[in-house]
Amino acid sequence: MSEIGLYAIRLAFLATVFGIGAGIYSGVTRRADWGQVAERAVYAVLILLGVAMVSLFWALGTNDFSLEYVARHSARSMTLGYRLGALWGGQAGSLLLWAFLLMAFGSAGVFSNRRSQSALIPWVAVVLLANAGFFIFLLEFLTSPFESVPAGQVLSDGRGLNPLLQHPVMLIHPVMLYLGFTGFATPFAFAFAALVTGRLGTEWFRTTRRWSLFAWLALGAGIVLGGRWAYEVLGWGGYWAWDPVENASLMPWLAATAYLHSVMIQEKRDMLKTWNVILVGLTYSLCLFGTFLTRSGIVQSVHAFTDAGWYKPLFLGYVVFSVVAFSIAVFARRKQLQSPRKLESVLSRESSFILNNWVFMVLLAVVFGFTMLPVFSESFSGERLTLGPHFFNQVTGPLALILLFLTGVGPLIAWRKATPRSLWRQFRWPLFSGLVATFVLAVIFWRQVGYWSLTCWGLCAFVTGTIAQEYILAIRARKRVHGESSTVALRTLLSKNQRRYGGYIIHLGVVVMLLGISGSAFNVESLENIKPGQSAMMREYRIEYLTADPILAQHYGGATARLALFRDDSPLAVMEPEKRIYWLEDQPTTIPSIYSTWMEDIYVIVNAIEEDGSATIKIYRNPLVNWIWAGAIIFGLGGIAILWPHPPRNTPGRAA
């Protein structure tokens, strides 16, 4: 099977070269037959990469340690799920997954639009094949997943996957990130094709809107799952540390969020054409740049794959080439991208969306600049300057509040121009909700929290009031005009205007997540050393140390501390944090134990079991942290509501 996978990659590389040539020839000469050749090359590359994927899965599943990749990232002691998950646990396997998912998205996009967008398809195929071709080039010439171990050096077992990655979330998190990264290649390809052909109307983004939204949701899900993994595995009590690789996934998500908002202005008002094309190019370029950060070694990260020097110039050159090629295409079409309509009033929905996008861009610039500061400082001064999470929080916190405010403002302002009377009618109840919530919470938590948390709570109430008002008014209108029940009216709104009302569900998810983040203002942590029978106190909670039991597993050892958790002397749970050492990897890890409620988590790790039998434990109390995960679920449900296929309208009338 390994030989089949090896030759599948080689044939895929040849198919990309041939398909690129056919697509360019078709685009220049407008020969439809050669366009079909390029289209079929896309499908062929997908099939060949699929064969390579199956071959590597087979090698991992059957413990074929004659392959260096399997020997380095898998072991017999690992369960089948983690052995298969090792495909994206290393450099070569993750690149193969990247290329496969890119072509899976691309093939679906090409196939579904091969007739309606036939003029764009040859150039779309060129862009997709060029991107896939680069990754296939890496797999063929630099880091093959099918490289064999010399015959005399094959061992009976492998080194195994990094223990930190042997967690259920890591079977999903990388795949979701790659779905997001590669999913944006399809909108990028259609935007580039529109620039080359001069077909710069609304067709290209209407064609790719659902692709963009799916990729955006997948990337967002990957980011949240990464936070959940860090919270459960890394043992530091947090979920986001502004790590460079975390930021690498956040940056394209920010750009894509700006695009999904501003594209509505082009659709409604035929404005921001240049802005939207640039945002699509920026989003995918940041996806490539994030992949470069993960693999180049130019930043230190617990998530990075390698520090292999040859990746730096090659991958960075590829990113720069993509950016320059797209920028040249945008510059060449700058006159056609000029919008015929101008902003009519500062008090308009267009204005709020534009301001929203600029705040996103400032936030993106801050994250990019601070992430790359160590690289820039080392280049100019020879010293690597780094900024901790506190500095990121201080700078990005106010920007997040501005975005939260605009989330509530946007739906309340009319298109084109709003009047003072309409503003008062729309704003009074949401604004009242925000002011009342701010006042009440300020009285309750006076001098306990800072400005950020208090402002966040008030703005969350304001945005929630906006969402509730939009739904209530629309449901009342349908009940009055069509005589529908509230349930039927709600279902009709989600089916006939799913982007608008599904978007409100997404906004509600953001509100809940920010409430969860604001709970960090009340975080408490304590480091204790206690002997069996002794207790540590954290406000109304008491943790009693019962005993420590040795761990005698097949591929790791260590100890489990058994701790009884009480609230006001009422027993709640027995907590069992672990301290492990993995023999094969010679790597210690800390496995936390978490007692969760909707209001807070009690999070305990064991730092050490001392010679005198005592245990050094660290206790965290994390209020509202589970609201982050609940908000992410609401966010996902909003995305599903938007993407869910609905039957076409039977009547030309518009929904209320």
pLDDT at residue 494 is higher than 80:
yes
Report the Cα 640 to chain-centroid distance in Å.
Answer: 16
Q: What is the mean pLDDT of residues 597-601?
A: 94
In angstroms, the CA 509 to CA 631 distance is 4
In angstroms, the CA 362 to CA 354 distance is 13
What tokens does 26 get?
Answer: 């078709």
Residue 646 phi, psi dihedral angles, 5° rounding: -120, 150
pLDDT at residue 476 is higher than 50:
yes
pLDDT score, position 124:
96
Burial 158-190 (b: 16+ CB within 10 A, else e): bebbbbbbbbebbbebbbbbbbbbbbbbbbbbb
pLDDT score, position 350:
83
pLDDT score, position 491:
87
**353-406 per-position pLDDT tens digit:** 889 999 999 999 999 999 988 888 877 877 778 788 889 999 999 999 999 999
User: CA dist 133 to 93, 98, 175, 323, Å?
Assistant: 16, 11, 20, 17
pLDDT score, position 448:
84
pLDDT at residue 30 is higher than 50:
yes
Instruction: Name the pLDDT band for 655 (thresholds 50, 70, 90).
Output: very low
What tokens does 523 get?
Answer: 């975080």
Q: What is the mean pLDDT of residues 515-531?
A: 92
In angstroms, the CA 37 to CA 117 distance is 16
Burial 6-16 (b: 16+ CB within 10 A, else e): bebbbbbbbbb
Going from N- to C-terminal start, the domains of the chain cover 2-334+349-391, 400-517, 522-627
Q: Which residues contact 14 (CB under 8 A, 6 or more apart)?
A: none
DSSP 362-407: HHHHHHHHHHHHHHHHHHHHSS-----HHHHHHHHHHHHHHHHHHH
In angstroms, the CA 213 to CA 180 distance is 10
Q: Could you tell me whether strands 556-567 and 570-575 are parallel, antiparallel, or unpaired per DSSP bridges?
A: antiparallel
Q: What is the mean pLDDT of residues 481-486?
A: 86
- Which is more confident, 339 or 474? 474
State the Cα torsion 43-44-47-51 to the nearest 10°. Answer: -160
pLDDT score, position 308:
56
**628-647 per-position pLDDT tens digit:** 999 999 999 999 999 887 66
C-beta separation of 41 from 22 below 8 A = yes
Instruction: Give the single-character DSSP code of 161.
Output: -
pLDDT score, position 647:
61
pLDDT score, position 648:
58
pLDDT score, position 539:
87
Residue 651 phi, psi dihedral angles, 5° rounding: -125, 150
pLDDT at residue 651 is higher than 50:
no
pLDDT score, position 450:
85
**401-444 per-position pLDDT tens digit:** 999 999 999 888 887 887 888 888 888 999 999 999 999 999 99
DSSP 109-131: HHHHHTTTTTTTHHHHHHHHHHH
Q: Which residues contact 55 (CB under 8 A, 6 or more apart)?
A: 1, 2, 4, 5, 6, 8, 146
pLDDT score, position 306:
56
Which amino acid type is present at position 386? T
Rounded to whole angstroms, the maximal C-alpha distance in the chain is: 84
Q: What is the mean pLDDT of residues 190-200?
A: 92
**201-211 per-position pLDDT tens digit:** 777 888 888 88
Q: What is the mean pLDDT of residues 22-26?
A: 95
pLDDT at residue 309 is higher than 80:
no
In angstroms, the CA 51 to CA 562 distance is 48
In angstroms, the CA 486 to CA 502 distance is 17
Instruction: Name the pLDDT band for 89 (thresholds 50, 70, 90).
Output: confident
pLDDT score, position 656:
36
pLDDT score, position 652:
42
Instruction: Name the pLDDT band for 10 (thresholds 50, 70, 90).
Output: very high
pLDDT at residue 301 is higher than 70:
no
In angstroms, the CA 232 to CA 603 distance is 9
Burial class (CB in 10 A: 0-12, 13-18, 19+), 527: exposed
Sequence-separated contacts (24+) of 24-33 with Cβ below 8 Å? 24/122, 24/126, 26/122, 27/122, 27/123, 27/126, 27/196, 27/197, 32/118
**107-123 per-position pLDDT tens digit:** 999 999 988 888 999 99
pTM above 0.95, yes or no: no
Q: What is the mean pLDDT of residues 51-74?
A: 94
pLDDT score, position 302:
55
**543-578 per-position pLDDT tens digit:** 999 999 888 877 788 899 999 999 988 999 999 999
pLDDT at residue 526 is higher than 60:
yes
In angstroms, the CA 279 to CA 286 distance is 10
Burial 468-478 (b: 16+ CB within 10 A, else e): ebbbeebbeeb
Sequence-separated contacts (24+) of 325-329 with Cβ below 8 Å? 325/192, 326/188, 326/191, 326/192, 326/195, 326/281, 326/285, 327/281, 329/192, 329/195, 329/196
Residue 557 phi, psi dihedral angles, 5° rounding: -135, -175
pLDDT score, position 654:
40
**Average pLDDT over the chain, rounded to an integer:** 89
What tokens does 314 get?
Answer: 């090659």
pLDDT at residue 649 is higher than 70:
no
pLDDT score, position 56:
96
C-beta separation of 198 from 133 below 8 A = no
Query: Half-sphere exposure (CA, 13 Å, Cβ side) for 532?
Result: 11
C-beta separation of 576 from 565 below 8 A = no
Report the Cα 290 to chain-centroid distance in Å.
Answer: 11
- Sheet strands side by side (includes 600-609): 524-530, 615-623, 600-609, 593-596
CA geometry: angle 174, 178, 181, nearest 5 deg: 140
- Which is more confident, 617 or 159? 617
pLDDT score, position 653:
40
Count, residues in the chain: 656
